[in-house]
Structure 1
Amino acid sequence: MTTQLDAAPALELIVLDMAGTTVRDDGVVETAFQRAAERTGVADRMPWDDALAHVRATMGQSKIDVFTHLAGGDREAAERATAAFEGAYAEIVAEQGVTEIPGAADAIQGLKDAGLRVVLTTGFAPVTRDALLDGLGWRELVDLALSPADAGRGRPAPDLVLTALLRMQTSSVAAVAVAGDTVSDVESGRRAGVGLVAGVLTGAHESAALRLAGADVVLDDVTQLRSALSERGLLPLVPSV
């Protein structure tokens, strides 16, 4: 009997999150949010513990959307806070440097060697995204990197995933896999209708939350992704050149 898994097409495209999935966070996002909130007063309408809880729950989402909530819907204040966040994040990266999740670059190269295109996505603005790529030396490693500004809406909307599909001229959403460390990453992949959504445990959210959001598989880290795809028969039969 042919199962749905047996009938699944080989993948063509992998969409990977950045901070927490391929790039080490080590609390940098939370610290940058705190600096931005302090500098702009955007979270003054609620206790800081409540604001921080919202930041943690919405990890992976567009930063402007997170700050809009914290600012009580005041878009102008949210834009100022988002700019302050991007500035604070850049400060921290300059202070501490930027490092990959151990083995992430090799994992990305392994996926490419298997015949897959690899696109990175993030809730950061393009300037921060590009600073991370430059800091890691990943400009030539990945096929593309996208921010909400490139796609329309940030996660959990499907826009980043679908923009990656269109830019890479992928044949169908079923030929796309998504991997990320947050509920928003998982929900974005599910809403896009991709062939497989993987959660990873190197970032913001735990296994139970990722599975509840709809992850097909939860991995310790991104280095396990190629093996997980191979076990499911989802790698291309003939790697592309």
Structure 2
Amino acid sequence: MHYQSPKKLEAVILDWAGTVVDFGSFAPTKIFVEAFASFGIDVSLEEARGPMGMGKWDHIRSLCNQEAVAKRFIAKFGHSATDEDVTEIYNLFMPLQIAKVAQHSELIPGALDAIQSLRNSQLKIGSCSGYPKVVMDKVVDLARTKGYEADHVVATDEVPRGRPSPAQALANVIALGINNLAACVKVDDTEPGILEGKNAGMWTVALRFSGNFLGLTYEQYQSLSANEKEQQRQRIDALFALCQPDFLIDTITDLPAVISQINQKLAAGELPSR
């Protein structure tokens, strides 16, 4: 038997918040601020966005390790945050997240049309998120009422390790019956999500404007001038540079055109960058 590289894509693995739902990725970030406040530590929205894309316990651990937050923690409690402290903050975070995720559940404008275009191209739709399953189930149910349902969903606590580990992306590959990782593309608005796709050997597409790095509502994004958008493109592209996505696009509405470009590359024998 001889190896043959794929000639076209078979599956797209989509992130959720900031990619398909919740323009600006506000549901997780605002709740981190509230959870830390309940624990007696002030964390800004900008600080909360820093580790976005990781599993939520790991996200809280990373926040506690940030120098500014760590100093506040020591000033408040006299010691650095332990794993037990992280778990206590996580336990404050979870009920808030479950209760309030519906406040930021709207589909990103144009997402349904873009995903339908992918389906028209016979692509399977996998998905994964930094949310644990108890939250992910609610996000999925809300999206279904608005017309979006992925072929498969993997929550961060359904695999041994969350992002940037490739485990969630690979779990989708297995469930969807895909034989070659180069026939898959991972789409995400965060660095851990892009690294997840690269570590899995997939094509990767980073989103500039609908997610964490811009951090604006859709209305705020729409109000930006052409010059402001271009400035933000350059800033965000620089932020994504270290994780080396194969493509950068503004929002999911630009994805079908990139899928066509990837198919052309596959047909010419090219494979995802590593």
Q: Quick one: percent identity of the two aligned structures?
A: 26
Secondary structure at the residue paired with 2:248?
strand
* Residue 200 (structure 1) aligned with residue 207 (structure 2): yes
- 1:213 aligned residue (236, 243, 253): 243
- 1:174 aligned residue (176, 179, 182): 182
Partner of 2:77: none
Q: Distance in 2 between matches of 1:98 and 1:166?
A: 28
Q: Are the aligned partners of 1:23 and 1:100 in contact in 2 as well (CA < 8 Å)?
A: yes
Partner of 1:3: none
- 2:10 aligned residue (9, 12, 16): 12
* Residue 69 (structure 1) aligned with residue 62 (structure 2): yes
Q: Are the aligned partners of 2:140 and 2:149 in contact in 1 as well (CA < 8 Å)?
A: no
- Give CA-to-partner distance per residue, 1:21-58, whole Å, 9 cap, x none: 111144332210011112234xx4xx635xx5553221
Partner of 1:186: 194
Instruction: Name the structure with the higher helix share.
Output: 2
- Give CA-to-partner distance per residue, 1:175-222, whole Å, 9 cap, x none: 11001111111111111111x100012111222222331111111111
How many residues are matched?
A: 223
Partner of 2:38: 39
Q: Are the aligned partners of 1:120 and 1:145 in contact in 2 as well (CA < 8 Å)?
A: yes
Report the alpha carbon displacement of residue 235 of structure 1 after superposing the two structures with TM. 10
Partner of 1:103: 110
Q: Distance in 1 between matches of 2:154 and 2:96?
A: 21
Give 4+ residue runs of structure 1 displaced > 6 Å after superposition. Answer: none
Larger Rg: 2
- Bigger Cα displacement from structure 2, 8-17 vs 173-182: 8-17
Q: Distance in 1 between matches of 2:120 and 2:170?
A: 23
Partner of 1:81: 89
Partner of 2:263: 233
Structure-to-structure mapping, 1:131-146, within 5 angstroms: 131-137=138-144, 141-146=149-154
Q: Distance in 1 between matches of 2:130 and 2:95?
A: 15
Q: Distance in 2 between matches of 1:74 and 1:144?
A: 35
Secondary structure at the residue paired with 2:36?
helix
Q: Which sections of structure 2, spanning at least 5 residues, go unmatched?
A: 65-79, 214-235, 268-274
* Residue 30 (structure 1) aligned with residue 38 (structure 2): no
Q: Distance in 1 between matches of 2:177 and 2:264?
A: 18
Partner of 1:48: 43
Report the alpha carbon displacement of residue 97 of structure 1 after superposing the two structures with TM. 5.3
Flag the 1:78–1:35 CA change in 2: closer, same or farther, 3 A: same
- Matching residue's letter, 1:65: D
Partner of 1:153: 161
Q: Are the aligned partners of 2:198 and 2:204 in contact in 1 as well (CA < 8 Å)?
A: yes
Report the alpha carbon displacement of residue 106 of structure 1 after superposing the two structures with TM. 2.4
Report the alpha carbon displacement of residue 87 of structure 1 after superposing the two structures with TM. 1.8
Query: So what's the TM-score if we normalise by structure 2?
Result: 0.73
Q: Are the aligned partners of 1:199 and 1:207 in contact in 2 as well (CA < 8 Å)?
A: no
Query: So what's the TM-score if we normalise by structure 1?
Result: 0.82
Q: Are the aligned partners of 1:24 and 1:101 in contact in 2 as well (CA < 8 Å)?
A: yes
- Give CA-to-partner distance per residue, 1:80-128, whole Å, 9 cap, x none: 322322222233334x352011111222222122111111110011111
Report the alpha carbon displacement of residue 236 of structure 1 after superposing the two structures with TM. 10
Secondary structure at the residue paired with 2:178?
coil
Q: Are the aligned partners of 1:11 and 1:235 in contact in 2 as well (CA < 8 Å)?
A: no
